[in-house]
Structure 1
């Protein structure tokens, strides 16, 4: 059984291990390597996907929105182990594309991990985790509209990455940053669509 993830670099390393042995890496393979009780790392995974060059794939925002909603709703109802349908678990990406995204994210991940530490923990424990789940529902519902405004999905990805990291390292400051990032992205979308 895998040890719980402690930071972003460990998540990237664990996903990178999958690219060594497989030409295609499915979400099911990633979930198995991360652990099916790991809501934080899964939010980080979605955030990384949307923040990386993979976000340029048409329809990625809509697909990831369904993933976010499934995870967030299960967090809200208090499930200890999450469930995902096979159509999500069977989705995969080529090894080369995934490795390119992982390489692109490696250096920033090391810098981010050095800055993280437990603080404002009331924002990530007990009631705070329900607040994070509720925010994820809002982000998931807004993501299909982000297909209309360039780069707004990357902002949502950054917000989800921050929320996932907050759950993993118990850093409530990241929750506040995620709210600010998503608020700015939401405002940007409203201004550009009206």
Structure 2
């Protein structure tokens, strides 16, 4: 792993989905790594990329690794709280160094989804930037906290976190690209996700 940088390479902003995974693979440099180093490598604009990264990982077989859904949920909560506090540089807890991420799985996932990521990146662009800042940013952070909290219990269900991960990924893309239209879509869909998660959690507790 290389040391954390203060900036994100321009390709991540120009192609959020492809750029985030490419950045991770570059930082891993062919070796297994851990979540702390991966997140720290994103630098001072890590909030959006972290949401995208968590969403992508949890929607692939990587998300089936025991404990990873809960770990990603806690990461998102920590970052969303910092986003609410308007911290210029995210704090990454040392405990994330214990959560290992296999390079082989990341590379395999990237190879499979790369064509789809390129198609999605082609339709994302700066639109209604006001919906990604100010009061809307506060709302997005609160929704991210609630979505992330559902990952702890839903992580007990195989791929049960996929819907929440999908919304978090959309929100992260919106933040990176300043795409307010995408942010509004993500926030609207999150209402249905909360209802679905409530039904599943209720079933687990019954």
Give the alignment's TM-score, normalised by structure 2.
Answer: 0.84
Using the alignment, how far apart are the partners of 2:88 and 2:162 within structure 1? 29
1:120-131 alignment, distance < 5 Å: 120-131=128-139
What SS does the aligned partner of 1:115 have? coil
In the other structure, the counterpart of 2:163 is: 155
Which residue, out of 14, 24, 27, partners 2:32? 24
Using the alignment, how far apart are the partners of 2:142 and 2:113 within structure 1? 27
- Which piece of structure 1 moves more, 135-144 or 147-156? 147-156
Give the alignment's TM-score, normalised by structure 1.
Answer: 0.89
What SS does the aligned partner of 2:88 have? coil
In the other structure, the counterpart of 2:64 is: 56
- The runs of 5 or more residues in structure 1 that have no matched partner are none
Deviation at 1:90, TM superposition (A): 4.3
- Which piece of structure 1 moves more, 75-84 or 149-158? 149-158
In the other structure, the counterpart of 1:173 is: 181
1:180/1:104 CA distance change after superposition, 3 Å: farther
Instruction: Find out whether 1:72 has 2:70 as its counterpart.
Output: no
In the other structure, the counterpart of 1:143 is: 151
In the other structure, the counterpart of 1:82 is: 90
In the other structure, the counterpart of 1:41 is: 49
Using the alignment, how far apart are the partners of 1:43 and 1:50 within structure 2? 11
Which residue, out of 112, 126, 129, partners 2:120? 112
Moved over 4 A (4+): none
Using the alignment, how far apart are the partners of 1:11 and 1:163 within structure 2? 14
In the other structure, the counterpart of 1:10 is: 19
Q: Give CA deviations for 1:14-67 in whole Å, capped at 9, x if unaligned.
A: 112134x34212223322432133211111111111122211122222111110
Tell me the C-alpha RMSD between the 2 structures.
1.9
- The runs of 5 or more residues in structure 2 that have no matched partner are none
Using the alignment, how far apart are the partners of 1:53 and 1:26 within structure 2? 17
Whether the 8 Å contact between 2:30 and 2:103 is mirrored in structure 1 is: yes
